[in-house]
Structure 1
Amino acid sequence: MQKHKKLPHIDADGYYQFVTFRTNDSIDAYIASLLTSTNLKSSHKQYKIDEYLDNSKNGAYLTGGVLTYLYDFLKTNDKTTYELISFVIMPNHLHILFKQIKPISQTIKSLKARSAKEINLLLEKSGKFWASDYYDKVIRDDEHFAKVYKYIQNNALKANLNINERFYSIYT
């Protein structure tokens, strides 16, 4: 059996990145087992995690006022933190497509830290809000870009959520 190592995050300044991160409370035993699995390719593992999270109520804080805040927050970082293409905010995770203008680790750390502080205030919570890790994938070509964009666009619809309040795109 071939073991799959955890792949490093790839910094590709000027390239498009597809990033997913989730709320800390969305990580349950099933997600934890997928995250530590060595039997699945990274992309297949992420697909199974997303599919599960789309139907899970664990850590589903990204609704109501938190959803409105996060939607506006992600848009206000356009041109300073990244060049935003699109995003979708699911109840317990989000997907974002952007062109990288800063190191990926710095971008994600900034987004998570600044948004977590405000979201915890909105929810009257404290402590860790976002899960530690994130999934990122450098976009390889136009076909890959289109596939990722369509995935982001359809994610809320697939989970029977209102796309108008959760999906953003520079193309709409």
Structure 2
Amino acid sequence: MKIEYRRNLPHLQYVGATFFITFCLKGSLPAEVVRRLVDERQAALRQIQQKPPTSDEIVNVHKRYFAKIDRILDQGTSGNRWLQNRSIAELLADKIKSYDGESYDLIAFCIMPNHVHLVVDSSVQLEKVSGLSQPDDQHYRQLFTVLQQIKGSTAYGANRMLNRTGAFWQPESYDHVVRNVQELKNIVNYTLQNPVQAGLVTDWRDWPFSFLNERIY
């Protein structure tokens, strides 16, 4: 069962799936760079669609697109780095954890200076929609709704800390449905190692804004 919603990019919200989500601060991705990368991705998709593409080929195109986005975020050459403020990072971490066990099982996250990686399992909600032909808001809280709530409340709190107004988060998020156990392991490792790859620490355990739920993983 899946739900589709759109903003600038298509998203498939599979009910009960495990998700890898990335969202970032407003202005951390220059619009012209995003447009160029979107064009490159579309060209790559058109190329593989000259013959019936496999699901792995399509996924790999999207993975390459995301990897380029993440490298730009790690470089941090555009926008602000408000998430390196400990109070703001703690506010965000507490909000993410507040949905654990209710809207999702929280597996891992990493709060970088200008973006966030989040790995969650939404199957905790499956009992609520058992027997329903289509989940509704009363029985199932869709992932994009949870993200809106996380981003909305933390934007308000962070702006108060910074004594500013205006958009705090980029409206778009980048999400990926985790397909198997091995991919989950790779994604969790990628999430935790992000500060190491960005040159911020030498051991991921030294990064104060990383989280791994050892109860689940």
Query: Which TM-score bucket, shorter chain as reference?
Result: 0.7 to 0.9
1:39 lines up with 2:43 in the alignment: yes
Question: TM-score, normalized by length of structure 2?
Answer: 0.70
CA spacing shift, 1:31–1:62, aligned 2, 3 Å: farther
Structure number with the bigger relative contact order (C-alpha 8 A, sep ≥ 6) is 1
Give me the identity figure in percent: 27
Bigger mean CA deviation after superposition, 56-65 or 138-147: 56-65
Question: TM-score, normalized by length of structure 1?
Answer: 0.87
Which blocks of at least 5 consecutive residues in structure 2 are unaligned?
A: 1-7, 45-60, 126-140
Of residues 147, 150, 164, the one that matches 2:189 is 150
CA spacing shift, 1:61–1:39, aligned 2, 3 Å: farther
- Whether the 8 Å CA contact 1:61–1:92 is kept in 2: the answer is yes
Paired letter, 1:165: P
Q: Offset of 1:83 from its aligned partner?
A: 1.3
The residue that corresponds to 1:3 in the other structure is: none
The residue that corresponds to 2:92 in the other structure is: 70
Of residues 48, 53, 57, the one that matches 2:68 is 48
C-alpha distance in 1, partners of 2:148/2:31?
25
Bigger mean CA deviation after superposition, 157-166 or 50-59: 157-166
C-alpha distance in 2, partners of 1:35/1:95?
20
Q: Offset of 1:75 from its aligned partner?
A: 1.6
Displacement over 6 Å in runs of 4+: none
The residue that corresponds to 1:88 in the other structure is: 110
Which blocks of at least 5 consecutive residues in structure 1 are unaligned?
A: 1-5
Paired letter, 1:47: A
* Structure number with larger C-alpha Rg: 2
